[in-house]
Amino acid sequence: MPHSESSSFADRLATAVSRTNSVTCVGLDPRLEQLPASIRQMADSGAPDAKAAAYSQFCREIIDVVKDRVPIVKPQAAFFEQLGPAGMISLGEVIRYAHQSGLMVITDAKRNDIGSTATAYAQAYLGVEDASPWGSDSLTVSPYLGRDSLEPFVDVCDQRAAGVFVLVKTSNPGGGLLQDRVTDEQTVYERVADLVSELNQDRIGASGYGPVGAVVGATYPEQLAQMRAAMPHSWILIPGFGAQGGSADDVLAGFDPKGSGAIVNNSRNLIFAYQREPFAEKYGESRWQDAVSDATDQMNQVLLQRFSR
């Protein structure tokens, strides 16, 4: 069932952020070798479907822990794809389970292609309930193929009240090789930000935000401030917090003056919190779910302290 205009992706996200009083996005990046032993043993046979069952179980348990603590989760498709067809079934289950648990979902698959193929990707991933087979609220997409490759995604966002996050300034150290290149007196990432704003025009909802969001890494705080100003109506997905070195101070500039308009992803440091201090000592492997809940609460707290929402 398509959503009504009053529940656009951007507005639903704003509501979910207010309801949970959290801007944390929990990244679901299951890595077999880091799973707690109780779950890892489900995959002892080494068969892909056994590994996929372990991933589903792990992600479901994380969802149970974080569902009232955060607005949104981001399953990383790569880890599921790595297992072949069984992994993709698991990804689908995880997306559905997150929705049933009241969480919004970004599927992180960084898709794109020529326009007609992009339409197929958009139809596959975007749209909750019965609108699409994957049933995701939103998808990460690459801008490399240009405007006509992004438009099909935006069309489907319009039809299904979905959203996209366009890679603008990524968190990895090598991203600048192409993104920081200057041409026509602006960097490539600045040009992509302009494109994001152009595509978002005339689509701004009651929350002040539109369906075309941007990815900007926590590892580039100066550019994050610049990108917040350049795309005032785009939700910004900020990865790179925690394991990649981004701090609460670094992500601050990604938010609007009301402390909204951005969500901060954390994958490894939340879902495998039981492996690092102080959680390792406090909970150990057997209470890994308590480590996830404590680490998520601490991240919420640390970010909340920086805003008065």
Ligand X SMILES: O=C(O)c1cc(=O)[nH]c(=O)n1[C@@H]1O[C@H](COP(=O)(O)O)[C@@H](O)[C@H]1O
Using the contact rule CB under 6 A, the part of the chain among 89-97, 118-126, 143-151, 261-269 near ligand X is: 261-269
Q: Does 112 bind ligand X (CB under 6 A)?
A: no
Applying CB under 6 A, which of residues 7, 117, 119, 244 lies at the interface with ligand X? 244
Identify the three-state secondary structure at position 113.
coil
| Whether 136 contacts 95, CB under 8 Å | yes
Q: Does 242 bind ligand X (CB under 6 A)?
A: yes
Amino acid identity of residue 296, one-letter, is T
Q: Does 296 bind ligand X (CB under 6 A)?
A: no
| Long-range contacts from 255-258, C-beta under 8 angstroms, 24+ separation | 255/23, 255/228, 255/307, 256/208, 256/228, 256/232, 258/309
Residues forming a β-bridge with 73: 26, 105
Comparison of 3 and 136: residue with beta carbon closer to ligand X:
136
CB of 219 to ligand X, least distance (A): 8
Using the contact rule CB under 6 A, the part of the chain among 64-72, 144-152, 234-242, 284-292 near ligand X is: 234-242
Q: What is the largest CA-CA distance in the chain?
A: 56
d(CA 269, CA 215): 19
The single residue of 74, 110, 169, 282 carrying the catalytic annotation is 110
> Using CB under 6 A as the criterion, what x/- string covers residues 181-220 for binding ligand X?
----------------------------------x-x---
Q: Does 108 bind ligand X (CB under 6 A)?
A: yes
> Using CB under 6 A as the criterion, what x/- string covers residues 140-179 for binding ligand X?
x-----------------------------xx--------
CB of 237 to ligand X, least distance (A): 6
Applying CB under 6 A, which of residues 20, 76, 90, 260 lies at the interface with ligand X? 76
Identify the three-state secondary structure at position 263.
strand
> Using CB under 6 A as the criterion, what x/- string covers residues 115-144 for binding ligand X?
-------------------------x----
Exposed / middle / buried, residue 184 (Cβ in 10 Å: 0-12, 13-18, 19+): exposed
Respond yes or no: is residue 282 known to be catalytic.
no
DSSP string, 164-224: EEEEEE-SSGGGHHHHT-EETTEEHHHHHHHHHHHHHTT---TTS--SEEEEE-TT-HHHH
d(CA 31, CA 42): 14
**Degrees (nearest 5) of the Cα angle 77, 80, 81?**
80
Using the contact rule CB under 6 A, the part of the chain among 44-52, 220-228, 241-249, 297-305 near ligand X is: 241-249
Which residues are annotated as catalytic?
110
* Contacts with ligand X, residue ranges (CB under 6 A): 27, 29, 76, 108, 140, 170-171, 215, 217, 239-240, 242-244, 265-268
